[in-house]
Amino acid sequence: MAPQRTLKIEQFRPSFSDSELAGLKQTLEHSRLPARTYAMDQAEYGITYDYMKEALDRWKNGFDWYVSLDEVTERVEVIYSRSEVLFSL
């Protein structure tokens, strides 16, 4: 039987600077969707034009990056508090 090893998970806090966020917002503002086609509306695989349009609008106008960062940080802290994970190698 192979020995068990412990994987140590180190706590981290995801972060971004205000200038990085400003750059992302500028990129989103300059983003353009491709021309709408019949194939995009009938997408059997992948995503539809309407989905892309809604996603772009949400990221541009309705997504709070700082609230999301707090939520991710809370999840990371929960994972870190349960960080003893054993693997059989």
More confident position, 61 or 82: 61
For residue 60, pLDDT beyond 80: yes
Q: What share of the chain is helix, strand, coil (3-state, %, to 5)?
A: 55, 10, 35
**What residue ranges do the domains of the chain occupy?**
4-30+48-88
Share the mean pLDDT of the chain.
78
- The whole-number average pLDDT for the span 25-35 is 91
pLDDT of residue 75: 77
pLDDT of residue 48: 84
pLDDT of residue 37: 80
Cα→Cα distances 1→8, 46, 84, 86, Å: 22, 44, 21, 14
Rounded Cα distance, 65 and 17, in Å: 11
pLDDT of residue 65: 82
pLDDT of residue 8: 67
> Among the residues of 2-89, which ranges form H helices?
18-30, 38-41, 49-57, 65-81
- The whole-number average pLDDT for the span 50-64 is 89
Cα→Cα distances 87→2, 3, 33, Å: 10, 9, 45
- The whole-number average pLDDT for the span 21-40 is 87
